[in-house]
Amino acid sequence: MGSLRKMPSEESYALIEGDFKNFRVKRITDKDIPKVLENIELYFIPGEITCSNLGLTDQSVREFLDVAKISIQDGLGFYMEDKETGELACVRLTHRMRKGVDQFESLDIQSKSMFAVFEIFDKLNKIGKIYERYGIDEYAEFFLVSTTPKYRNQGASKELYRRSLDFLRAEGFKVAKVFLSSPWTVAGTKSLGFEELGSLSYETVRWSESGELIFPDPEKVKGVNLYLKVFVFN
Ligand SMILES: CC(C)(COP(=O)(O)OP(=O)(O)OC[C@H]1O[C@@H](n2cnc3c(N)ncnc32)[C@H](O)[C@@H]1OP(=O)(O)O)[C@@H](O)C(=O)NCCC(=O)NCCS
């Protein structure tokens, strides 16, 4: 972990770590990174709508995992493990966004799919104008949530959202943001009190430069939207 990074306090970690049903919630440390990345590669990337529709190659998967590795460095990521077996049940990655700082700058992105992900995020960030809207210099970004299939529908992802909000509040964040495409997570965040700032349609979203459609087969993403939502702490 980079020594210049601002790391969360133990008091804040105490708000999120601990038991939930048959699971144990833990912060992601360096030794956990391989199993966390493995879970994301196996269960998030193939299951999540944006990734699965962009036509993933080995290279784009590698690049996605490189983004995940950078996200983890902020110390805001967590996982749940099965208390009996130690198996990884759910991963929640969150990172700190700072005005004028591109923490992903060091990445040498080459794949079209990852360019597309960044282009789509950029378009929605321009709609959201979060720094200006709330007069802030930083906010927390919920980057991804991945539940191992056999542990789905037991409230794991929702509980990690809930606890993460308490943790981020304690860390002094004023706003948390999330991009959502999955119908389930849209439902889950609505009941947690997130509000929508904007959305874009995958059927019509185009590359800024060429004007071509980003999703090559609009039929496959019919009715799919990406939403920008925020949770404002008070
Ligand atoms: C989306 C995902 C993280 C949900 O994880 P989970 O641990 O099963 O979710 P939870 O049990 O906490 O449920 C959260 C909410 O979604 C709803 N939900 C979960 N699975 C659902 C399903 N298959 N159909 C409809 N609703 C569903 C729950 O009812 C709950 O809503 P509520 O708060 O209104 O009751 C999981 O399916 C997954 O990893 N999918 C692949 C990756 C992905 O798409 N990630 C999300 C994009 S960042």
Position in ligand 1 atom list of the atom nearest CA 153? 11
Domain presence at residue 71: yes
**Taking CA 180 as the corner, what is the angle to CA 198 and CA 18, rounded to the nearest 5 degrees?**
130
Tokens of 111: 């794949």
pLDDT in tens, 76-108: 999 999 999 999 999 999 999 999 999 999 999
Distance (Å) from CA 178 to ligand 1 centroid:
15
Instruction: Tell me, using a 6 A CB cutoff, whether residue 167 lines ligand 1.
Output: no
Instruction: Tell me, using a 6 A CB cutoff, whether residue 55 lines ligand 1.
Output: no
Does residue 109 carry a pLDDT above 80?
Answer: yes
Does residue 63 carry a pLDDT above 90?
Answer: yes
Amino acid code (one letter) for 30: D
Tokens of 209: 């430069």
**So what's the pLDDT on residue 62?**
97
Task: Name every residue whose Cβ is closer than 8 Å to that of residue 146 and which is 6 or more positions away in sequence.
Answer: 39, 40, 43, 44, 47, 90, 91
pLDDT-derived band at 190 (thresholds 50, 70, 90) equals confident
pLDDT in tens, 25-62: 999 999 999 999 999 999 999 999 999 899 889 999 99
Range of the domain at 202: 10-232
Does residue 2 carry a pLDDT above 60?
Answer: no
Tokens of 195: 């509000």
Tell me the three state secondary structure of residue 57. coil
**Can you say how many angstroms the Cα of residue 112 is from the centroid of all Cα atoms in its chain?**
20
The CATH number covering residue 37 comes to 3.40.630.30
Domain presence at residue 1: no
CB 113 within 8 A of CB 55: yes
Position in ligand 1 atom list of the atom nearest CA 142? 48
Instruction: Tell me, using a 6 A CB cutoff, whether residue 218 lines ligand 1.
Output: no
| Rounded percentage of the chain residues whose pLDDT exceeds 70 | 98
Domain presence at residue 3: no
Position in ligand 1 atom list of the atom nearest CA 178? 48
**Residue among 184, 185, 194, 227 whose CB has most ligand 1 atoms within 8 A, to mutate:** 184
CB 181 within 8 A of CB 145: no
Q: Residue 133, by phi and psi: left (phi above 0), alpha (psi -120 to 50) or beta? A: alpha
Measure the CA–CA gap between 19 and 131, rounded to whole angstroms.
35
Domain presence at residue 175: yes
pLDDT-derived band at 4 (thresholds 50, 70, 90) equals low
Amino acid code (one letter) for 215: F
pTM of the model: 0.95
Instruction: Tell me, using a 6 A CB cutoff, whether residue 128 lines ligand 1.
Output: no
Domain presence at residue 130: yes
Give the chain's domain count.
1
Distance (Å) from CA 106 to ligand 1 centroid:
32
Domain presence at residue 112: yes
User: What average pLDDT does range 171-186 have in this prediction?
Assistant: 92
Measure the CA–CA gap between 230 and 222, rounded to whole angstroms.
25
Measure the CA–CA gap between 77 and 33, rounded to whole angstroms.
10
**Taking CA 20 as the corner, what is the angle to CA 151 and CA 47, rounded to the nearest 5 degrees?**
30
pLDDT-derived band at 117 (thresholds 50, 70, 90) equals very high
Task: Round the average pLDDT of the chain to a whole number and report it.
Answer: 95
Alpha helices, H only, 147-202: 156-170, 183-192
HSE-CB at 159 with a 13 A cutoff on CA atoms is: 25
